[in-house]
Amino acid sequence: MQLDQHLPQGHLYFRRYSHDTVTIVDRVLTRSFLLAPDRLVEDWPVQAVEQLDEAALAAIAALGPELVLLGTGARQVFPAPRVQAQLLQRGIGVEVMDNAAVCRTYNLLAEEGRRVVAAMMLAGAADPR
């Protein structure tokens, strides 16, 4: 699905998505990643909520978000309560969504200037570089 009716200025954004790929500006990704308005972290090693460990959460926190949009794939899957608790203890809000909802919500919040991070779980094959 194409997302960009107008091209956002000054930040990274989701341009399109499908069930197994996401396009950030002009970069097609097929593996899990983190996206902040000013930074893309490729190859985030989380493909399922069960893999959310301290290292994965630290990578999110390092981006300094006020809110994390946790994309759990084609369907919304809630992580263990400890995952949300660990982020909340750091002062970071968490919303769990399917990936399509994350793409739409992130673009709106980033356009408003919010410090949002999309943590997207994709179980795809090698990234076409």
Query: 64-82, pLDDT tens digit by residue?
Result: 999 999 999 999 999 999 9
Which helix (H) or strand (E) element contains residue 88?
A: helix 81-89
pLDDT at 14: 96
Residue 28 scores a pLDDT above 80: yes
- The pLDDT value recorded for residue 10 is 77
d(Cα 70, Cα 94) in Å, to the nearest integer? Answer: 7
pLDDT band, very low/low/confident/very high, at 6 (cuts 50, 70, 90) = low
All domains of the chain in start order, with CATH = 14-123 (3.40.1230.10)
DSSP type of residue 74: S
**Residue 123: pLDDT above 90?**
no
